[in-house]
Amino acid sequence: MENDFLNKLSQEILDSCFHVHKEMGPGLLESIYVLCLVRELKNRKLNVLTEVSIPLLYKGIELSKDFRIDILVENEIIIEVKSVEIILPVHQAQIISYLKLADKKLGFLVNFNVPLLKDGFKRFVNNF
C-alpha cells in the first residue's frame, strides 16, 4: 500500500514539474522554480513544506549542522530543485544525504535549466 501511495505521489510530482517547466521555461533562478512548484503542488491539494531542517545525528548526538530540504511533499518525498548547467556528483550526494538523514524512501533531483525536463529529472531511492 505504501509503495502504491509513493508511486502515485511521484506521478503528481513529475506532472507538477512538467507544468512548471512548460509555463516558466529554463534559465531562471532556482528560487523561482521552488515557489512555482510549491504553488503547483498545493493547487493539487498536496501537503508541502519548504526549507525543512534536518539535523545531523552522530551516535545519537545532534551535531551543530542543519541541512535544509527544498521541498518535502506529504512528509514522504524530498524534492531538491536546481537550475544549473549540469548536475554534478555533489548535487546527487546532496539528495542521497538528505534521504538518509531524514529517513525518507524517495527523492527527486530536478534541474529546471534544461530544454527538456525529462533530461533534468532524476529519481533517488533509500530502501524503497
Residue 45 pLDDT exceeds 90: yes
Radius of gyration of the chain (CA): 14
CATH number of the domain within which 17 lies: 3.40.1350
What is the number of structural domains in the chain? 1
Q: DSSP string of 46-63?
A: --EEEEEEEEEEETTEEE
> Which pLDDT belongs to residue 27?
94
Contacts 24+ apart (CB under 8 A), 48-53: 48/72, 48/73, 49/75, 52/102
pLDDT value at 128 more than 70: no
Pair 80, 59: CB distance under 8 Å: no
- Domain that includes residue 104, residue range: 2-125
pTM of this structure: 0.92
- pLDDT tens track for 104-116: 999 999 999 999 9
d(CA 122, CA 18) in angstroms, rounded, equals: 13
> How many Cβ atoms are within 10 Å of 37's Cβ, its own excluded?
26
pLDDT per residue over 53-103, tens digit each? 998 888 988 887 778 999 999 999 999 999 999 999 999 999 999 999 999
**CB-CB contact of 72 with 49 (8 Å):** yes
Q: Give the mean pLDDT of the chain.
A: 94
